[in-house]
Structure 1
Amino acid sequence: MSFLSAEFGIDLGTANTVVCRRDGVVLINEPSVMLVSLGADGSRKPILVGHQARELTGRTPVGMATMRPIRDGVVTDLQSTKGFVAAVIRQVTHRPWERFRPRAICGVPAGATALERQALVEALEEGGIGHADLLPEPIAGAVGCGIDPLEPRAHMVVDVGGGTAEVTAFCFGGILSSSSCRIAGDEMTAALNQYLRQEHHLIVGELTAEDVKIRLRAAHDTTEPIVVEGRDVFSGKPRMQTLDPDEAALA
């Protein structure tokens, strides 16, 4: 490790962002959500990131908005991602020397294009990272699970994130085969939201739908119903709806 810069491992995910130190200590693990102030010239100034920003989703004051800079596992808005990275780096660096051109290894979907990889590196370096290297997320995930990717035998990793789902086989540190699709956790949340509206005439927000999805995942071995709070489509009044786990699986 250089004495003149810090080193981090970064996972800029569609749903969550994780930053750890070289020794594996997790410094931040928060939603990839940013609250921005909207300027008259179209500029967007970051105000909050992570949990604090996510809690304001759907109820931001005038002149502000919440946004997710990463979609389908890749950069969709360079300026927003740059601002998000800069805000995250400020949160994890507490000493002046740590902010002097820190180095980072960042995960990237195995199915990302060359242009998407370039955009990610550009966002990282313009956001305050002095030098950024990319590592395929399946390889990073294998290391996190205690698997040695350099072993002379093949391993397979299934990674279902918020924006992408990937199945990757690798051996000797190289990818043998990989299949990726951009249908993952976000689409599950959207499908559940639509199901509640169409079948039960219940309107719920993004955060509520996400919470219901997580509760259903945790209760997949039980038959206990889940109570969902929302707003009735016809009356507009608050209402609760009981949702059977088996029924929700069909959504």
Structure 2
Amino acid sequence: MGIFNYFISHFSQDMAIDLGTSSTLIYIKGKGIVLNEPSVVTVETNSKKLLAVGDEAKRMIGRTPGNLTAIRPMREGVIADFDMTEHMLRHFIQKVHRGGTLLRPRIIIGVPSRITQVEQRAVKESAELAGAREVYLIEEPVAAAIGAGLPITEPSGNMVVDIGGGTTDIAVISLGGIVYSESVRVAGDQLDGAITSYLKREYSLLIGEHMAERIKMEIGSAYPLPEKKQMAVKGRDVVSGIPRTILVDDNEIREALQDCLTTIIRAIRLALENTPPELAGDIIDRGIVLTGGGSMLQGLDNRLREETSLPIVTVDDPLTSVVLGVGKTLEEFSLLRKISSHSRLNP
């Protein structure tokens, strides 16, 4: 290693980023996870001036006056608003880089497995404009598998289902590469949307994003619960426009989520059907590993166990498995090189 490369490797504050539809997490080499904030920005409607980012911006969703707009620049796992994503990334990078080295960081970012080349370029360019020296990409299900401690570089099959905010990524991984993958743009946000649509249709009640997410987390389920759960839901009547409160139970919300869950289950079955027989035996033994915030839906493991007749394992902290996996490749760069040799990313 030359003196310049030695200097760079020891004094650059390199970062691993999980740039998600719902949240952005940043891991700094040698420090671990240093940031976990919503992927939301608030701007002045006419001037597009950035007013708030992350936690502060999320608190404003549904509560902004007419001259302000809360924006989610990531949609379905990819960049929907390039300029706002760049501003958001720059803000987050500067926030964790404050007081650190003057050297621009090397950054590794987790992306959906079926991301297009155009979408890849958008992610790389936004990170470069936000201050990155070098940008590398890694498929999120591979990162999630690493974060979950799976032996992905061995000649054996590992199946990961990563249910994020905008996409569900399903991958069969062996020898450091994806053997087969499926990706559906149905995940946490679509579950929230299904709840919103159900209450509007069945109760003529309009609810906001925060309320839909609360309902999903408190009484949402994929499988019948041991005990009935109810929740008071506040919203606005579609016809009269007057605020009112209704009582809903877990059976109703489970019904609301059925179409989304069916789409995810169908994608998992398709991945299983296309798994090489040699690796299928490993999956029978090891089961399917669930990661991502969407995997925290109550009873999802039981539902998938019933649908696939396979063991289902939920990782200890589904929300951080991707960024921890990306972080491990940052700490062990040789691992990223090994993975990249089997990937269509980082040509």
* Uncovered stretches (5+) of structure 2, i.e. residues with no partner: 1-7, 257-347
Q: How does 1:1-251 map to 2 (within 5 A)?
A: 2-23=9-30, 25-40=32-47, 44-97=48-101, 100-217=103-220, 220-251=225-256
Q: Deviations over 1:67-118 (max 9, x none)?
A: 0111111112211111110011121112141x53111110010010111111
How far off its partner does 1:56 sit? Answer: 0.4
* Uncovered stretches (5+) of structure 1, i.e. residues with no partner: none
C-alpha distance in structure 2 between counterparts of 1:215 and 1:184, whole Å: 17
Matched AA of 1:54: K
SS of alignment partner, residue 82 of structure 1: helix
Q: Deviations over 1:139-184 (max 9, x none)?
A: 1101111113212211000011111111100111011000111122
C-alpha distance in structure 1 between counterparts of 2:214 and 2:194, whole Å: 14
Name the stretch that deviates more: 64-73 or 2-11.
2-11
SS of alignment partner, residue 197 of structure 1: helix
Query: Percentage identity across aligned positions?
Result: 37
Q: CA, structure 1 residues 222+177, in 2 after alignment: closer, same or farther (shift >3 Å)? A: same
C-alpha distance in structure 2 between counterparts of 1:216 and 1:103, whole Å: 42
Higher strand share: 1
C-alpha distance in structure 2 between counterparts of 1:221 and 1:22, whole Å: 43
C-alpha distance in structure 2 between counterparts of 1:225 and 1:62, whole Å: 35
TM-score (norm 1): 0.92
SS of alignment partner, residue 49 of structure 2: strand
Matched AA of 2:200: R
RMSD between aligned residues: 1.8
2:127/2:135 contact within 8 Å kept: yes
Matched AA of 1:9: A
Q: Deviations over 1:16-72 (max 9, x none)?
A: 1111122362111111111123444xxx23221112101101121343211011111
Q: CA, structure 1 residues 6+221, in 2 after alignment: closer, same or farther (shift >3 Å)? A: farther
SS of alignment partner, residue 248 of structure 1: helix
1:168/1:178 contact within 8 Å kept: yes
SS of alignment partner, residue 58 of structure 1: coil
C-alpha distance in structure 1 between counterparts of 2:95 and 2:226, whole Å: 38
TM-score (norm 2): 0.68
Q: CA, structure 1 residues 21+220, in 2 after alignment: closer, same or farther (shift >3 Å)? A: farther
Name the stretch that deviates more: 221-230 or 139-148.
221-230
C-alpha distance in structure 2 between counterparts of 1:46 and 1:149, whole Å: 41
How far off its partner does 1:131 sit? Answer: 1.1
C-alpha distance in structure 2 between counterparts of 1:125 and 1:145, whole Å: 29
SS of alignment partner, residue 2 of structure 1: helix
1:46/1:84 contact within 8 Å kept: no
1:46/1:87 contact within 8 Å kept: no
Q: CA, structure 1 residues 202+48, in 2 after alignment: closer, same or farther (shift >3 Å)? A: same
2:42/2:57 contact within 8 Å kept: yes
